Amino acid sequence: MNKAKRKAVIAGNWKMNKTPAEAKTLIEGIKPLVKDAGCGVVCCVPYVDLSVVLEAAKGTNIGVGAENCHWEKSGAYTGEISAEMLASMGVQYVIIGHSERRQYFGETNETVNKRVRAALDAGLNVILCVGESLAQREQGITSELVALQTKIALGGVSKDELKRVIIAYEPIWAIGTGKTATSAQANEVCKTIRETVASIYDADAAEALTIQYGGSMKPGNAPELLAQPDVDGGLIGGASLKPDDFAAIVKAAD
């Protein structure tokens, strides 16, 4: 598998952090530090911050994303936001299936699949998250679980549409815990995801797919993780809220 064929992408996931005013300060802090990045740079931000961040990122190399979307175009779904709404604002990316959505908001592989479909139909790029809990890892079912999450989420997605999908491997036990998967662990699961994609589509599609690692990625561990043959980028939580740290990770991906 040829890593040079794939685009490295570093994406920040701001989660439920930053008011619009704070978001403006953060994006303005990030902008100059990543302007010469050789890799793709994306900031996924809370819905209420999208306008401010889109405006600030206009004409820069920073892509802007949301953190979720609903699968219907519109209707009686109080509190939800559709993929169309995001696309109409100029949003380019959306995170789908983050473990925090699965864990705390009852999202299932099936609803993740519906959201992926809706996002692609609206013309968005998808950052699809998969990953195992500590109990699942200890049970030895990581590969099977991640393969299943990947297969269900990509149901009905064509090979052409797959070009607009990034998959992020995020072991739940490494998120926000300071515990990082070793680079070998991260690579092993990213490789499993690539093999799964090859089995659904073909070797070309798998080889072109950008697969990120996420879970306590920091400037200190990013170079080793990003040097792995099947790790093509990172989905960054905590460190994406600190311009210097985020920029250092972007630099490591270059």
100 or 230: CB nearest ligand 13P: 100
Residues 125-184 binding ligand 13P (CB under 6 A) are 170, 175-176
Enzyme catalytic residues: 98, 170
CB of 67 to ligand 13P, least distance (A): 9
Instruction: Choose which of 92, 142, 210, 216 interacts with ligand 13P (CB under 6 A).
Output: 216
242 vs 27: CA distance, rounded Å: 10
CA distances from 44 to 9, 91, 98, 126 (A): 13, 9, 12, 11
Report if residue 215 touches ligand 13P, rule: CB under 6 A: yes
14 vs 23: CA distance, rounded Å: 9
What SS3 state is found at 219?
coil
Query: Comparing C-alpha atoms, which of 171, 185, 179 is closest to residue 225?
Result: 185
DSSP single-letter state for residue 81? -
Span near ligand 13P by CB under 6 A; candidates 20-28, 49-57, 193-201, 214-222:
214-222
CB of 116 to ligand 13P, least distance (A): 16
Report if residue 220 touches ligand 13P, rule: CB under 6 A: no
Report if residue 65 touches ligand 13P, rule: CB under 6 A: no
46 vs 75: CA distance, rounded Å: 21
Contact set with ligand 13P (CB under 6 A): 13, 98, 170, 175-176, 214-217, 235-239
